[in-house]
Amino acid sequence: MSCKICSRQVKEKGYCNRHLKAYQNIYEKFEMWKKALEVTWMDYLSKISKNSLTGEWAKEVAKQLIEDDRRNVKEK
């Protein structure tokens, strides 16, 4: 099985090593943001996917998560 984003081998949660790390970073930051601001997971993802300060790996993960969410909504 390959990563949802690139073609590297999956490590966990459908992501390769590097995208998994980016995902964990995103998730940890969200936990901090949530305490300070009222922000939803999707708002947060859309913010970081547009932020020029976000690293490429994290941006790719954020975009993938947004897409996953859209697909889930459609399926329901």
Residue nearest to Zn ion as judged by C-beta position: 3
Contact call for residue 5 and Zn ion (CB under 5 A): yes
Report d(CA 8, CA 41) in Å as an integer: 26
Residues 7-46, mask of contacts with Zn ion (x by CB under 5 A)? -x-------x--x---------------------------
Quick one: tokens of 12? 């966990």
Smaller CB separation from Zn ion, 15 or 44? 15
Find all residues with CB under 8 Å of 69, minimum gap 6, and list them: 42, 45
Instruction: Output 44 or 58, the one with its CB closest to Zn ion.
Output: 58
Cα separations in angstroms, 56 against 23, 60, 61: 12, 6, 9
Which residues contact Zn ion (rule: CB under 5 A)?
3, 5-6, 8, 16, 19
